[in-house]
Protein backbone atom coordinates (compact mmCIF):
# COMPACT_ATOMS: atom_id res chain seq x y z
CA UNK A 1 0.00 0.00 0.00
CA UNK A 2 1.48 3.41 -0.97
CA UNK A 3 3.10 5.43 1.79
CA UNK A 4 0.96 8.20 3.12
CA UNK A 5 -2.32 6.56 2.08
CA UNK A 6 -5.06 7.32 4.56
CA UNK A 7 -7.41 4.51 5.44
CA UNK A 8 -10.73 5.24 7.07
CA UNK A 9 -13.02 2.62 8.52
CA UNK A 10 -16.54 2.79 7.21
CA UNK A 11 -19.55 1.59 9.14
CA UNK A 12 -20.20 -2.10 8.80
CA UNK A 13 -22.56 -2.79 5.86
CA UNK A 14 -26.17 -3.43 6.77
CA UNK A 15 -26.10 -6.92 5.31
CA UNK A 16 -23.28 -8.01 7.64
CA UNK A 17 -24.18 -7.87 11.37
CA UNK A 18 -21.78 -5.63 13.23
CA UNK A 19 -21.94 -7.87 16.27
CA UNK A 20 -20.20 -10.66 14.37
CA UNK A 21 -17.14 -8.57 13.62
CA UNK A 22 -15.87 -8.76 17.15
CA UNK A 23 -16.67 -12.39 17.79
CA UNK A 24 -16.26 -14.29 14.54
CA UNK A 25 -12.74 -15.63 13.72
CA UNK A 26 -12.82 -13.98 10.28
CA UNK A 27 -13.27 -10.23 10.49
CA UNK A 28 -13.95 -7.96 7.57
CA UNK A 29 -13.85 -4.20 7.48
CA UNK A 30 -14.89 -1.99 4.60
CA UNK A 31 -12.32 0.67 3.92
CA UNK A 32 -12.26 3.88 1.95
CA UNK A 33 -9.20 4.74 -0.12
CA UNK A 34 -8.94 8.32 -1.40
CA UNK A 35 -12.69 8.79 -0.79
CA UNK A 36 -13.54 5.80 -3.03
CA UNK A 37 -14.92 2.53 -1.77
CA UNK A 38 -12.30 0.55 -3.62
CA UNK A 39 -10.23 -1.27 -1.03
CA UNK A 40 -12.07 -3.90 0.82
CA UNK A 41 -10.36 -5.85 3.43
CA UNK A 42 -8.32 -6.12 6.51
CA UNK A 43 -8.08 -9.77 7.44
CA UNK A 44 -6.56 -10.34 10.87
CA UNK A 45 -7.42 -14.03 10.88
CA UNK A 46 -9.15 -15.40 7.81
CA UNK A 47 -9.25 -19.18 7.75
CA UNK A 48 -9.79 -21.11 4.54
CA UNK A 49 -12.30 -23.43 6.24
CA UNK A 50 -14.82 -20.69 6.96
CA UNK A 51 -17.94 -20.76 4.81
CA UNK A 52 -18.03 -17.40 3.07
CA UNK A 53 -20.72 -16.97 0.45
CA UNK A 54 -19.66 -17.02 -3.18
CA UNK A 55 -20.87 -13.49 -3.79
CA UNK A 56 -18.99 -12.11 -0.80
CA UNK A 57 -15.78 -13.93 -1.78
CA UNK A 58 -15.99 -12.53 -5.31
CA UNK A 59 -16.67 -9.09 -3.84
CA UNK A 60 -13.44 -9.32 -1.84
CA UNK A 61 -11.14 -11.03 -4.34
CA UNK A 62 -10.11 -8.05 -6.48
CA UNK A 63 -9.23 -5.97 -3.43
CA UNK A 64 -7.53 -8.56 -1.26
CA UNK A 65 -4.85 -6.87 0.85
CA UNK A 66 -3.21 -7.82 4.12
CA UNK A 67 -1.73 -4.60 5.51
CA UNK A 68 -1.50 -6.08 9.02
CA UNK A 69 1.93 -7.67 9.67
CA UNK A 70 1.92 -11.48 9.69
CA UNK A 71 -1.75 -11.58 8.78
CA UNK A 72 -2.98 -14.98 7.70
CA UNK A 73 -4.55 -14.20 4.34
CA UNK A 74 -6.28 -17.00 2.43
CA UNK A 75 -6.47 -15.04 -0.81
CA UNK A 76 -3.40 -14.71 -3.01
CA UNK A 77 -2.36 -12.77 -6.06
CA UNK A 78 -2.11 -15.97 -8.09
CA UNK A 79 -5.08 -15.80 -10.40
CA UNK A 80 -6.42 -18.69 -12.46
CA UNK A 81 -8.36 -18.36 -15.71
CA UNK A 82 -10.07 -21.50 -16.98
CA UNK A 83 -12.42 -22.41 -19.80
CA UNK A 84 -14.66 -25.45 -19.44
CA UNK A 85 -16.86 -27.33 -21.90
CA UNK A 86 -19.98 -27.75 -19.77
CA UNK A 87 -22.12 -30.80 -20.55
CA UNK A 88 -25.90 -30.85 -20.46
CA UNK A 89 -27.37 -31.32 -16.98
CA UNK A 90 -24.48 -29.77 -15.02
CA UNK A 91 -25.28 -26.96 -12.58
CA UNK A 92 -23.01 -23.89 -12.75
CA UNK A 93 -22.03 -24.11 -9.10
CA UNK A 94 -19.68 -26.13 -6.93
CA UNK A 95 -22.10 -26.91 -4.12
CA UNK A 96 -24.25 -30.01 -4.52
CA UNK A 97 -27.87 -29.37 -3.59
CA UNK A 98 -28.86 -33.00 -4.05
CA UNK A 99 -26.89 -36.25 -4.43
CA UNK A 100 -28.19 -36.72 -7.98
CA UNK A 101 -27.18 -33.26 -9.20
CA UNK A 102 -23.98 -32.90 -11.19
CA UNK A 103 -22.02 -29.73 -10.50
CA UNK A 104 -18.76 -28.09 -11.55
CA UNK A 105 -17.07 -29.88 -8.65
CA UNK A 106 -17.50 -33.17 -10.52
CA UNK A 107 -15.25 -31.85 -13.30
CA UNK A 108 -13.00 -29.08 -11.96
CA UNK A 109 -10.64 -29.60 -9.03
CA UNK A 110 -9.22 -26.07 -8.93
CA UNK A 111 -10.05 -24.29 -5.64
CA UNK A 112 -11.67 -20.86 -5.35
CA UNK A 113 -12.58 -20.30 -9.01
CA UNK A 114 -16.10 -19.21 -9.92
CA UNK A 115 -18.02 -18.87 -13.20
CA UNK A 116 -18.12 -15.60 -15.09
CA UNK A 117 -21.81 -15.45 -15.84
CA UNK A 118 -23.58 -18.78 -16.06
CA UNK A 119 -25.07 -21.42 -18.30
CA UNK A 120 -28.39 -22.99 -17.38
CA UNK A 121 -28.32 -26.64 -16.36
CA UNK A 122 -29.94 -27.64 -19.68
CA UNK A 123 -27.44 -25.63 -21.78
CA UNK A 124 -24.02 -26.75 -22.93
CA UNK A 125 -20.78 -25.17 -24.01
CA UNK A 126 -18.13 -22.66 -23.06
CA UNK A 127 -17.85 -21.45 -19.47
CA UNK A 128 -15.16 -19.11 -18.18
CA UNK A 129 -14.06 -19.44 -14.55
CA UNK A 130 -11.60 -17.38 -12.52
CA UNK A 131 -10.61 -16.31 -9.03
CA UNK A 132 -9.92 -12.79 -10.36
CA UNK A 133 -12.94 -11.09 -8.82
CA UNK A 134 -12.37 -7.74 -10.49
CA UNK A 135 -12.30 -9.29 -13.95
CA UNK A 136 -15.30 -11.45 -13.05
CA UNK A 137 -17.24 -8.38 -12.01
CA UNK A 138 -16.39 -6.40 -15.13
CA UNK A 139 -17.30 -9.18 -17.55
CA UNK A 140 -20.46 -10.24 -15.73
CA UNK A 141 -21.82 -6.75 -15.12
CA UNK A 142 -24.76 -5.93 -17.44
CA UNK A 143 -23.26 -2.53 -18.25
CA UNK A 144 -20.43 -4.26 -20.09
CA UNK A 145 -21.56 -5.63 -23.41
CA UNK A 146 -19.32 -8.43 -24.62
CA UNK A 147 -20.28 -10.90 -27.31
CA UNK A 148 -21.53 -14.39 -26.53
CA UNK A 149 -22.14 -16.72 -29.46
CA UNK A 150 -24.50 -19.71 -29.38
CA UNK A 151 -25.51 -22.52 -31.70
CA UNK A 152 -29.23 -22.97 -31.22
CA UNK A 153 -31.24 -25.93 -32.48
CA UNK A 154 -34.87 -24.91 -32.94
CA UNK A 155 -38.08 -26.64 -33.85
CA UNK A 156 -39.03 -26.10 -37.50
CA UNK A 157 -37.13 -23.86 -39.92
CA UNK A 158 -37.18 -20.11 -39.16
CA UNK A 159 -38.16 -17.87 -42.05
CA UNK A 160 -36.56 -14.55 -42.98
CA UNK A 161 -39.12 -12.58 -40.95
CA UNK A 162 -38.37 -14.51 -37.75
CA UNK A 163 -34.62 -14.04 -38.21
CA UNK A 164 -35.11 -10.32 -38.84
CA UNK A 165 -37.11 -9.99 -35.63
CA UNK A 166 -34.40 -11.77 -33.66
CA UNK A 167 -31.80 -9.44 -35.17
CA UNK A 168 -33.66 -6.23 -34.37
CA UNK A 169 -35.04 -7.23 -30.95
CA UNK A 170 -38.11 -8.98 -29.55
CA UNK A 171 -40.26 -8.51 -26.48
CA UNK A 172 -39.61 -11.07 -23.76
CA UNK A 173 -41.66 -10.51 -20.61
CA UNK A 174 -41.34 -6.73 -19.96
CA UNK A 175 -38.06 -6.31 -21.81
CA UNK A 176 -37.06 -5.68 -25.43
CA UNK A 177 -33.84 -7.41 -26.38
CA UNK A 178 -30.88 -5.54 -27.85
CA UNK A 179 -29.97 -6.03 -31.53
CA UNK A 180 -28.26 -9.36 -32.13
CA UNK A 181 -26.34 -11.13 -34.88
CA UNK A 182 -28.45 -14.05 -36.10
CA UNK A 183 -28.06 -16.33 -39.10
CA UNK A 184 -29.42 -19.67 -40.24
CA UNK A 185 -26.67 -22.29 -40.43
CA UNK A 186 -26.62 -24.14 -43.77
CA UNK A 187 -25.98 -27.49 -42.08
CA UNK A 188 -25.92 -29.08 -38.65
CA UNK A 189 -22.72 -28.18 -36.74
CA UNK A 190 -20.36 -30.90 -35.59
CA UNK A 191 -21.14 -31.43 -31.93
CA UNK A 192 -20.98 -34.40 -29.55
CA UNK A 193 -24.24 -36.24 -28.96
CA UNK A 194 -26.30 -34.90 -26.12
CA UNK A 195 -27.28 -37.17 -23.23
CA UNK A 196 -30.22 -37.39 -23.11
CA UNK A 197 -30.96 -36.55 -26.77
CA UNK A 198 -33.46 -33.88 -27.73
CA UNK A 199 -37.07 -34.87 -28.26
CA UNK A 200 -37.67 -36.14 -31.78
CA UNK A 201 -40.80 -35.53 -33.81
CA UNK A 202 -40.94 -37.47 -37.04
CA UNK A 203 -42.94 -34.93 -39.03
CA UNK A 204 -41.36 -31.74 -37.65
CA UNK A 205 -37.95 -30.65 -39.01
CA UNK A 206 -35.34 -28.80 -36.99
CA UNK A 207 -32.78 -26.12 -37.88
CA UNK A 208 -29.70 -24.54 -36.35
CA UNK A 209 -29.19 -20.83 -35.76
CA UNK A 210 -26.02 -18.99 -34.82
CA UNK A 211 -26.87 -16.17 -32.43
CA UNK A 212 -24.46 -13.60 -31.02
CA UNK A 213 -25.73 -11.49 -28.12
CA UNK A 214 -24.15 -8.72 -26.08
CA UNK A 215 -26.39 -9.25 -23.05
CA UNK A 216 -27.26 -12.19 -20.86
CA UNK A 217 -30.77 -12.07 -19.43
CA UNK A 218 -32.15 -15.16 -17.72
CA UNK A 219 -32.87 -17.85 -20.37
CA UNK A 220 -32.77 -15.12 -22.98
CA UNK A 221 -31.97 -17.20 -26.07
CA UNK A 222 -34.77 -19.65 -25.32
CA UNK A 223 -37.26 -16.88 -24.71
CA UNK A 224 -36.21 -15.06 -27.88
CA UNK A 225 -36.66 -18.12 -30.11
CA UNK A 226 -40.00 -18.92 -28.47
CA UNK A 227 -41.17 -15.33 -29.00
CA UNK A 228 -40.82 -15.72 -32.78
CA UNK A 229 -42.46 -19.16 -32.78
CA UNK A 230 -39.45 -21.49 -32.96
CA UNK A 231 -38.81 -23.16 -29.58
CA UNK A 232 -35.22 -24.01 -28.61
CA UNK A 233 -34.42 -27.72 -28.47
CA UNK A 234 -30.67 -27.52 -27.80
CA UNK A 235 -28.40 -24.63 -26.84
CA UNK A 236 -24.60 -24.64 -27.02
CA UNK A 237 -22.41 -21.61 -26.26
CA UNK A 238 -19.38 -21.77 -28.55
CA UNK A 239 -17.69 -18.42 -27.92
CA UNK A 240 -17.24 -15.71 -25.29
CA UNK A 241 -15.56 -12.71 -26.88
CA UNK A 242 -12.42 -14.16 -28.46
CA UNK A 243 -12.49 -17.38 -26.39
CA UNK A 244 -13.64 -20.46 -28.28
CA UNK A 245 -14.20 -24.14 -27.59
CA UNK A 246 -11.91 -25.20 -30.45
CA UNK A 247 -10.63 -28.71 -29.69
CA UNK A 248 -11.80 -28.78 -26.07
CA UNK A 249 -13.73 -31.99 -25.44
CA UNK A 250 -17.04 -32.26 -23.60
CA UNK A 251 -16.44 -32.17 -19.83
CA UNK A 252 -12.83 -31.00 -20.17
CA UNK A 253 -11.22 -27.78 -18.99
CA UNK A 254 -7.94 -25.98 -19.57
CA UNK A 255 -6.11 -22.84 -18.51
CA UNK A 256 -6.14 -19.88 -20.88
CA UNK A 257 -3.10 -19.47 -23.07
CA UNK A 258 -0.88 -16.41 -22.65
CA UNK A 259 -2.29 -14.77 -25.77
CA UNK A 260 -5.89 -15.48 -24.71
CA UNK A 261 -5.21 -14.03 -21.28
CA UNK A 262 -3.59 -10.91 -22.68
CA UNK A 263 -6.49 -10.35 -25.02
CA UNK A 264 -8.98 -10.88 -22.20
CA UNK A 265 -7.30 -8.31 -19.98
CA UNK A 266 -6.99 -5.81 -22.82
CA UNK A 267 -10.65 -6.28 -23.63
CA UNK A 268 -11.80 -5.79 -20.04
CA UNK A 269 -9.64 -2.68 -19.64
CA UNK A 270 -11.04 -1.17 -22.83
CA UNK A 271 -14.50 -1.21 -21.32
CA UNK A 272 -15.52 1.33 -18.69
CA UNK A 273 -18.61 2.10 -16.69
CA UNK A 274 -20.72 4.88 -18.19
CA UNK A 275 -20.77 8.10 -16.25
CA UNK A 276 -23.63 8.60 -13.85
CA UNK A 277 -25.14 11.16 -16.20
CA UNK A 278 -25.17 8.69 -19.09
CA UNK A 279 -26.42 5.88 -16.91
CA UNK A 280 -29.64 7.64 -15.97
The catalytic residue positions are 120
CA distances 270 to 47, 140, 273, Å, are: 36, 15, 10
Amino acid sequence: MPNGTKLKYSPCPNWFPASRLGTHPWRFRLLFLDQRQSLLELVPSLKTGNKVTQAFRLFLLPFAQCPIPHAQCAMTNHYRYIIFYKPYGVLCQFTKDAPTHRTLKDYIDVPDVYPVGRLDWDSEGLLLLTNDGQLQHRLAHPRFGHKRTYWVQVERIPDADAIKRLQTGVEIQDYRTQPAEVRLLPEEPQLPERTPPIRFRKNIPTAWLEMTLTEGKNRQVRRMSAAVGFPTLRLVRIRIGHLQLDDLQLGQWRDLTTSELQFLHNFSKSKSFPSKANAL
